[in-house]
Amino acid sequence: MMKRIDSHHHLWDLNAVHYPWLMEFGKPRFFGDPTPIQRDYLLEEHRAISQNHGVAASVHIQVGAEDGSAEARWVDQVAHANPEWPMVQVAFCDLAASDREGQLDQFQALPSVVGVRQIVGRSPEEDSKNGTNALIADPEFKTGLQSLAARGLSFDLQLIPELMEPMGKVLAQVPDLHVALCHAGSPYDRSPKGIATWAASLTHLSALPNVSCKLSGLGMFDYDWTAETVRPIADVVMDQFGPDRVMFGSNFPVCSLSSSFDELMERHMAIVPMEHHRKVFHDNAARFYFRGSQSS
C-alpha cells in the first residue's frame, strides 16, 4: 500500500491545553454541533483510524487554543515522543501583534513547527462577529506574512470565497511565502450558483504559483456529503491548482462529525484521479511541510 500523509488534522488533550470552544457546551459552530468531539483526541486514536489507509505521517494544525504557545509546546512534545510517526505542526501566531517577532522566535525554537495559521475567515456569520477578516487590510498582517517568508515558515490560509480577491492581492506582494489554502477555500454554499461563485473567486488564489490547496473539510458544510456531491469541488481544485499543488487532509476529528475516517478516505480516493494519487496523498505534502523529506 502506498504510504500517505495527512496534511491537516488536529489533536487535543483537554487536561494539557485549554481550548475555550471545546469547553463551551451547547454552542453550534460554523461546522455544526461540536458536542461529539468535545473530548480528548490524541495521536494514538488518530493513528489507529488512519494507518490502515497507509497514513504514516501527518501535519497538526492549530485549533483555537487559548494560548497558542502552550498548544505548540504540547504538540512538539507529542511529536518528540512518537518519532516513528513523523509529525510537524502549524502553530497559531497573531501576525498583526506587536510581539509577533518574539512569538515567531519561540515557535522556531520548537523542532516540529514549520508554519503558522491565523484564520482570516470561517463563515459570514462568525466573521461578522469576530472581525478576523479585517486582518486583510491591516498592514501589520502583511508585514507578518513577509516575516514568515523570510524565516522559511509557511502560512496556512483559511478564509471564505468572499475574501479571496482581496487576500490574493495581499499574497501577490509576498511571492516567496509558501501558502496552503485550507478546506478548498470553504465553499459553504453548495448550490450551483454558490459553487460557481466559489470557483470564480478561487482563481484569485490559484493564479499565484506559491499557493497550494488542501482537499480537506469537504464535509464541514454538508453532513450528507458523498464522493459525487463533492466531485465538482475536487474537479475545480484539480483543474485550477494542478496535481502538483493539491494535498489531502482529513480535518479530523472535526470532520468525524460528517463521516468516519474510512468513509472520508474512500471518498477522497474516488474524487482524485488515480494517476495523481501519489502526489495528492503524499508527495506534495512531503515537499510542502516536510521540506522534501519522504517522512515515511
Q: What pLDDT, on a 0 to 100 scale, did the predictor assign at position 295?
A: 54
Alpha carbon distances (Å) from 151 to 102, 113, 156, 180: 13, 12, 15, 16
Residue range(s) defining the domain that contains residue 191: 4-289
Considering the domain boundaries, does residue 294 fall inside one? Answer: no
pLDDT in tens, 119-132: 998 878 777 777 77
Which CATH number do you get for residue 175? 3.20.20.140
Q: Report the alpha-carbon distance of residue 185 to residue 218 in Å, rounded.
A: 10
- Looking at residue 256, its pLDDT comes to 97
| Number of domains present in the structure of the chain | 1
Query: Binning pLDDT at 50, 70 and 90, where does residue 198 land?
Result: very high
Q: Specify if 296 maps to a domain.
A: no
Q: What does the chain come to in residues?
A: 296
Q: Does a structural domain hold residue 227?
A: yes
Q: pLDDT (tens digit, 9 = 90+) per residue, 13-57?
A: 999 999 999 999 888 888 889 999 999 999 999 999 999 999 999
Q: How high is the pLDDT of residue 296? A: 47
Which set of grid coordinates corresponds to residue 195? 459553487
192 falls within a domain? yes
Check whether 3 has a pLDDT greater than 90.
Answer: yes
Q: What is the mean pLDDT of residues 136-149?
A: 97
Inside any domain, residue 295 = no
Q: Is residue 142 domain-resident? A: yes
Give tens-digit pLDDT for 271-295.
Answer: 999 999 999 999 999 999 998 554 5
181, part of any domain: yes
